[in-house]
A = this chain, B = another copy of it.
Amino acid sequence: MMRTRPLKVALLGCGVVGSEVTRIMTTHADDLAARIGAPVEIAGIAVRRPGRVRAGVPEELITTDATALVKRGDIDVVIEVIGGIEPARSLITTAFEHGASVVSANKALLAQDGAALHAAAEKHGRDLYYEAAVAGAIPLVRPLRESLAGDKVNRVLGIVNGTTNFILDKMDTSGAGYSEALDEATALGYAEADPTADVEGFDAAAKAAILAGIAFHTRVRLDDVYREGMTEVTAADFASAKQMGCTIKLLAICERAADGQSVTARVHPAMIPLSHPLASVREAYNAVFVEAEAAGRLMFYGPGAGGSPTASAVLGDLVAVCRNKLAQSTGPGESAYTRLPVSPMGEVVTRYHISLDVADKPGVLAQVATVFAAHGVSIDTVRQTGKDGEASLVVVTHRAADAALSATVEALRKLDTVRGVASIMRVEGE
- Interface set of A (CB-CB < 8 Å, partner B): 20, 24, 28, 31-32, 34-35, 131, 137-139, 142-143, 146-152, 217, 277, 280, 292-303, 306, 308-309, 311-320, 323-324, 327-330, 332, 335, 337-338
Contact = CB atoms under 8 A, between A and B. Distances in A.
B308 A294 contact: yes
Contacts of A324: 329
A79 B199 CA distance: 47
A153 B1 CA distance: 24
A141 B408 CA distance: 49
Contacts of A137: 151, 292, 294-296, 298
B142 A312 contact: no
A301 to B, nearest CB: 4
B314 A150 contact: yes
A269 to B, nearest CB: 23
Contact of A149 (B293, B303, B316): B316
A32 B20 CA distance: 38
Contacts of A292: 137, 312
A333 to B, nearest CB: 10
A317 B148 CA distance: 9
B24 A320 contact: no
A312 B335 contact: no
A312 B154 CA distance: 14
Nearest to A131: B147
A139 to B, nearest CB: 4
Contacts of A147: 131, 139, 142-143, 313, 316
16 contacts: A28-B150, A31-B217, A35-B149, A142-B143, A143-B147, A146-B316, A149-B316, A149-B320, A150-B316, A150-B317, A151-B315, A296-B306, A296-B309, A297-B303, A299-B302, A301-B301
B28 A152 contact: yes
A329 B302 CA distance: 32
Contacts of A327: 327, 329-330
Contacts of A316: 146-151
Given A142-B142, A142-B146, A316-B147, A294 B152 contact: no
A295 B277 contact: no
Nearest to A299: B301
Contacts of A20: 294
A312 B139 contact: no
Of A280, A324, A329, most B-chain CB atoms within 10 Å = A329
Q: Which 9 pairs of residues, A with B, have the shortest CB-CB distance? A: A150-B315, A139-B147, A137-B295, A294-B312, A149-B319, A298-B302, A295-B312, A139-B143, A329-B329
A280 to B, nearest CB: 7
A330 B327 CA distance: 8
A133 to B, nearest CB: 13
Contact of A152 (B31, B131, B295, B298): B31
Contacts of A306: 296
Given A142-B143, A142-B146, A294 B311 contact: yes
Given A35-B217, A149-B315, A277-B301, 16 more contacts: A28-B152, A34-B217, A34-B335, A35-B150, A137-B151, A139-B142, A146-B320, A147-B313, A150-B314, A150-B317, A150-B319, A151-B316, A295-B302, A295-B303, A295-B313, A299-B301
Contacts of A149: 35, 315-316, 319-320
A75 to B, nearest CB: 18
Nearest to A150: B315
A151 B32 CA distance: 9
A292 to B, nearest CB: 6
A281 B143 CA distance: 21
